[in-house]
Amino acid sequence: MTAVGFWKDRSWVSEWLRFFLADWQENKMDFMNTFRLALRALARNKMRSALTMLGIVIGVGAVIAVVSIGQGAQYIVQQGIQAMGTNAVFIAAGSNRAGGVRQGYGGVKTLTVDDMNAILAEIPLIKQAAPALTSRQQVVYGNQNWSTQITGTAPNYFDIRTWPVQAGSVFSDQEVDLAANVCVIGTTVARILFGSENPIGQTMRIGNLPFRVDGVLESKGQNVTGQDQDDVIFAPYTTVQRKISGITWLQFIAASAVSQEASVAAVAPITSLLRERHRIRAGTDDDFMIRTQADIADLQNQTQSTMTMLLGGIASVSLVVGGIGIMNIMLVSVTERTREIGVRMAVGATEKDVRMQFLVEAVTLSMMGGAIGIVFGLIGSMLIANLLQWPTLISGKAVLAAVIFSTLVGVVFGYYPAHKAAQLDPIEALRYE
Amino acid sequence: MAEQILPAVDPDKAPGKSEPMIRLENVYKTYDLGEIQVQALRGVSLEVRAGEFVAVMGPSGSGKSTVMNILGCLDRPTKGRYFLDGVDVSGMSKDELARIRNKKLGFVFQQFNLLSRTSALENVELPTVYAGIKPEERTRRAMESLTRVGLADRAGHHPSQLSGGQQQRVAIARGLVNQPAILLADEPTGNLDSRTSIEIMEILQTLNDEQGLTIVLVTHEADIAQFTKRNLEFRDGKLKRDKLVEERLIAREVLKTLPTAEEQAAEDAQEDASQEKAATENARQAAPKA
């Protein structure tokens, strides 16, 4: 039987289907018997069987270890994004067309506190919202000075961003109403201006105005783009509007929806509400931009899972190599056992019986290899987690895929040798030395 | 010519009413070896009735192996028809032939062809596995079959732990396990010494005489053919002679004239002992010098 003949004769397609769908009760040789036969045949050449399985063991083990590392990394990123508040919705002013020139974010004057109140009043999906505007200022304490970003906002901003203080407290709503000169600082600012001194209750200068430091925020570290998130100062938005920037509008609204799904669902109603309030004609661009945390999380996940799939794909190449090893050894086995095949045929084995016997043997090899590979993969990813301190996350899907894939490898690479065995002529097989 | 050969069956022993167990009608077999064509069988017609014990004889190249392969449903005739137990099997598919081999035929080979590292019992069970018989029934039948050849006490032994004669008896038991219509034996004594050969013939004669099993045996040894009831001689792909055996040998009687296995063993042991004695004496003589 040549390889060409093998491809021309398509009966193997239906054989495969029958292999999976066969009702073993009706089959001449019951499955357990065939399986026992396969185990015994494999046990006869323990070393050879073990080495053949090794290919699959390494393949499956590598896939599981690599995927668990990838999933671990993905999990860490997701945790980071969740820490920023997965329900968050950011509305940024800007991006309207003014004589063909688009302004950057925050460059328009249309987004106001009234918009924010309208959103809170009319869109029940939004639970809370805080105004925000920023200004870059020189800040001074004692003989230290520093240039940083002042964000004017309200106290609930810290709830929306799940960002508590590590010392002191956040300014109050009354202080917002009064446009008081109070602020909360990030750890970077605290370190640079105050050094080892306790900043709480101290007075620092922002621009030309004195501000009392009420609290120091917990450190958030760098964000995904490498920006230091702790190099910030927060003050009441009223204070920043009136005393620092001298404006009446906002640059951002930081809102929080009732759930992660709601944050996505709220985008459309907020858009139509703001368009109406800003009197934007149909066909004209929005003068604001809405971003949800879910969008960002999606993007991150996508990048990560692409990486994981790429690595998993490379690892699965070794599974194919393992499959070739199985095919090789099965071909040797068929040649060695030509006489046995002849005897079986003489006493009544049909082509299908013989084919099934060798196919089950190949699949047993690959499935056992797969099982051992799973154990090795799990141990491997635990070792990586412990020794290299890399986060790993064992994925049930990867394990399931490994089982299915290794079985498939056995069927695909075991089929040709089994087919060859079934096509033997009993007379010649019996005469074979 | 084959067509002119008269049925050699004694009409008294096998009444003509019943359909013969085997009927070959003008069978040809041509092997196409690319450049040349080899005519292995050139118009063979023959009948074998139930209960017969036939020896197929002839030199190598005479076509006796080919006729055996066709009778065994391992090969199909190029031309002509083969009726087995009244059924035309000459046009059957491979799968159908496998089923016929399983149900109607038992095989015994010169090389025994037992599966190594597999117990005698499991070897005998093999045809029942392909017959789709339930495991308990398989074991029962295999044990029964082993008992028929006198090897019930060796059921757990592997072929390597059995003598050649015992291995061939296991093979016969395997041939019998599915209660076939015909037992086909291809040079069954070819690898055995004279005494063991006759022991095998005794088993075959017993099966034929007492249980009416139809047996077709291929051999090139004339003395082995003398144990059967009818001899078919092949030459150049044709049936040359078909004769009933006169002065048939009875294996049980012949065995009585030969030294028994024990006597043989005792004789051998004596020989061994004397050799050993000589060896130790030699050693003793060599020892003082060391």
pLDDT on residue B41: 93
- CB of A393 closer than 8 Å to CB of A68: yes
**Coil vs helix vs strand at B57:** strand
Q: What is the pLDDT of residue A109?
A: 79
Q: In whole angstroms, what separates CA A122 from the centre of its chain?
A: 35
User: To 5 degrees, how large is the angle CA B157–CA B160–CA B161?
Assistant: 45
**Total-model pTM:** 0.68
Q: How large is the greatest C-alpha to C-alpha distance in chain A, in angstroms?
A: 106
What is the H or E stretch that residue A246 is in? none
CB A233 within 8 A of CB A151: yes
Count of CB atoms situated within 10 Å of the CB of B89: 20
The pLDDT of residue B130 is above 60: yes
Q: Is B156 left (phi over 0), alpha (psi -120 to 50) or beta?
A: alpha
Q: Which of A392-396, B131-135, B273-277 has the lowest mean pLDDT?
A: B273-277
Q: How far apart are CA B141 and CA B135, in angstroms?
A: 10
pLDDT score for A102: 56
With an 8 Å Cβ cutoff, are A430 and B109 in contact?
A: yes
Whether B166 has a pLDDT exceeding 90, the answer reads yes
Give percent of chain B above pLDDT 90: 68
What does the alpha-carbon distance between residue A93 and residue A107 come to, in Å, rounded to a whole number?
Answer: 7
Residues of A whose CB is below 8 A from B184 = none
Token pair for A114: 């009234």
Nearest CB partner across the interface for A340, out of B95, B115, B127: B115
The pLDDT value given to residue A41: 87
What is this model's ipTM?
Answer: 0.84
Q: B231 pLDDT exceeds 60?
A: yes
The first and second tokens of residue B237, run together, are: 């792909």
Percent of chain B residues past pLDDT 70, beyond the cut: 87
Contacts of A344 in chain B (CB under 8 A): 126, 130
CA distance B255 to A15: 54
* Predicted pLDDT of residue B11: 43
Q: Quick one: pLDDT at residue B2?
A: 44
Per-domain residue ranges of chain B: 51-73+99-258, 266-290
Tell me: pLDDT of B7 over 50.
no
Topology (CATH level 3) of domain B51-73+99-258: Rossmann fold (3.40.50)
Q: Is B244 on the interface with A (CB under 8 A)?
A: no
Would the pLDDT of B266 be above 60? yes
Who among A29, A345, A352 is closest to B129 (CB)? Answer: A29
CA A76 to chain CA mean position, Å: 9
Tell me whether residue B260 is exposed, middle or buried, using C-beta atoms within 10 angstroms of its C-beta: 0 to 12, 13 to 18, 19 or more. Answer: exposed
Mutation target to probe the B interface, by most B beta carbons within 10 A, among A343, A357, A432 is: A343
Return the residue of B nearest to A34 by Cα: B129
Q: What gap in Å lies between CA A275 and CA B273, rounded to an integer?
A: 117
Query: What is the DSSP track for B72-112?
Result: TTSS--SEEEEEETTEE-TT--HHHHHHHHHHHEEEE-TT-
Q: In what order do the strands lie in the sheet with B53-57?
A: B105-108, B182-186, B214-218, B53-57, B230-235, B238-244
Calpha distance A16→A245 (Å, rounded):
75
Between CA A186 and CA A256 the distance in angstroms is 22
Closest listed residue to residue B234, CA positions, set B72, B67, B62: B62
Q: Above 70 in pLDDT, residue B18?
A: no
pLDDT means over runs of 10, chain A (433 residues): 56 62 51 83 90 91 86 76 73 64 62 90 90 91 90 91 88 92 93 91 91 92 74 93 89 87 87 89 84 74 77 80 92 94 94 92 93 92 84 82 88 94 93 84
**Which residues are CB-neighbours of B198 under 8 A, at least 6 positions away?**
B227, B251, B254, B255, B258
CB contact A159 to B (< 8 Å): no
What the block records as the tokens of A180 is 């008081």
In chain B, which among 38-77 make CB contacts under 8 A with chain A? Answer: 69, 72, 74-75
Q: How many helices (H) and strands (E) does chain A have?
A: 16, 12
| Chain A residues inside the 8 Å CB shell of B75 | 427
Q: Mind listing the pLDDT tens digit for each residue in B68-117?
A: 999 999 999 999 999 999 899 988 999 999 999 999 999 999 999 999 88
Mean pLDDT, residues B156-182 taken together? 95
Query: 3-state DSSP call for residue A53?
Result: helix
Structural tokens at position B182: 């015909």
Give the nearest chain B residue to A343 (CA atoms): B113
Cα B89 from Cα B84, distance rounded (Å)? 7
Q: What was the pLDDT predicted at B21?
A: 92
pLDDT of residue A11: 65
- Cα nearest neighbour of A27 on chain B: B132
Do residues B85 and B104 lie in contact, with contact meaning Cβ atoms separated by under 8 Å? yes
- The pLDDT of residue A310 is 83
**In chain B, what residues touch A340 (CB-CB under 8 Å)?**
115
Residues B171-194, buried b or exposed e (16+ Cβ, 10 A)?
Answer: bbbbbbbbebbbbbbbbbbbbbee
Is A105:A289 a contact under the CB 8 Å cutoff? yes
* Partner B contacted by A343 (CB < 8 A): yes
Tell me the mean pLDDT in the region B145-150.
Answer: 94
Tokens read off for A157: 């901003």
List B residues 83-112 in contact with A (Cβ-Cβ < 8 A): 94-95, 98-99, 101-103, 107, 109
